[in-house]
Amino acid sequence: MLQSVITIARQYGSGGRIIGEKLAKALNIPFYDKELIAMAAKKSGLSKEIFEKADEKATSSLLYSLVMGTYNFGSHFSMAADMPINDRLFMIQADIIKNAAMEGPCVIVGRCADYILREHTHCFHVFIRADHDDRVKRIVEEYGDPAAKAEDLLQKKDKQRANYYNFYSNKKWGDLNNYDLVVNSSLFGIEGSIELIKAALQTAEKNA
């Protein structure tokens, strides 16, 4: 019986979200991505639209965070009611992610889930990457981003995710030491990547 919570970090345009969604469906377990925003909004009583703008973005107020003692979220943070919305979203999502993991196996995409669940007993951390040209093609053809802006979007989104992860943890986004498995979706494709993760997960749980 499956025991692990699977976290998926991903490069923009790598297909990480669809891989996570299809993996969860294949394993018949809950899937969390954008759903976390709605759950956080409901828990906080704030607007979903407000949280959507703050999703996976580090706070813009570094000075505020330093003054409040919240800069390194890996070591200490304060639940101040007037802290930046980005920080409040992170903290609420962190609680939701921990509770979801306590309920049993699931797939969680992004949002520092691997770091948040670093002390959880059964976790399998995956990073999805892809070749540059395949990422550009995907964000234009599947995500609907303008071809003329594809290159800039690629760099901007990856930088945004890296800044978010690096800010709220004491680790570095994309560092191989953070993950149990790194998958090149260009090499294996979406379905092949899913099968690879399932096989690796099965082996990992068997050897645990």
Q: Hey, which bits of 51-149 come out as E strands?
A: 107-109, 123-129
Q: Is the pLDDT of residue 6 over 80?
A: yes
Q: What percent of the chain has pLDDT over 90?
A: 60
Average pLDDT over residues 111-136: 95
- Which strands sit side by side in the sheet containing 181-184, from one edge to the other? 31-32, 107-109, 5-10, 123-129, 181-184
What CATH number should be reported for the domain holding residue 190?
3.40.50.300
Residue 34 pLDDT: 81
pLDDT the model gives residue 64:
40
Q: Is 36 helix (H, G, I), strand (E, B) or coil?
A: helix
Of 30-34, 63-67, 184-188, minimum mean pLDDT range: 63-67
pLDDT tier for residue 60 given thresholds of 50, 70 and 90? low
4 DSSP 8-state letter: P
Range of the domain at 101: 5-207
Amino acid at 36: L
Q: Which residue has the higher pLDDT, 83 or 40?
A: 40
Whether 147 has a pLDDT exceeding 80, the answer reads yes
> How many domains in the chain?
1
pLDDT at site 58: 64
pLDDT of residue 56 exceeding 70, the answer is no
Distance CA 124, CA 154 (A): 26
Q: For helices 132-141 and 150-168, what crossing angle results, to 10°?
A: 110
Task: Give the tens place of pLDDT for each residue, 149-162.
Answer: 999 999 999 999 99
Distance CA 132, CA 116 (A): 29
Confidence of residue 36 (pLDDT cuts 50, 70, 90): confident
Question: Which residues are CB-contacts of 7 (< 8 A; sequence separation ≥ 6)?
Answer: 107, 108, 109, 113, 114, 117, 123, 124, 125, 126
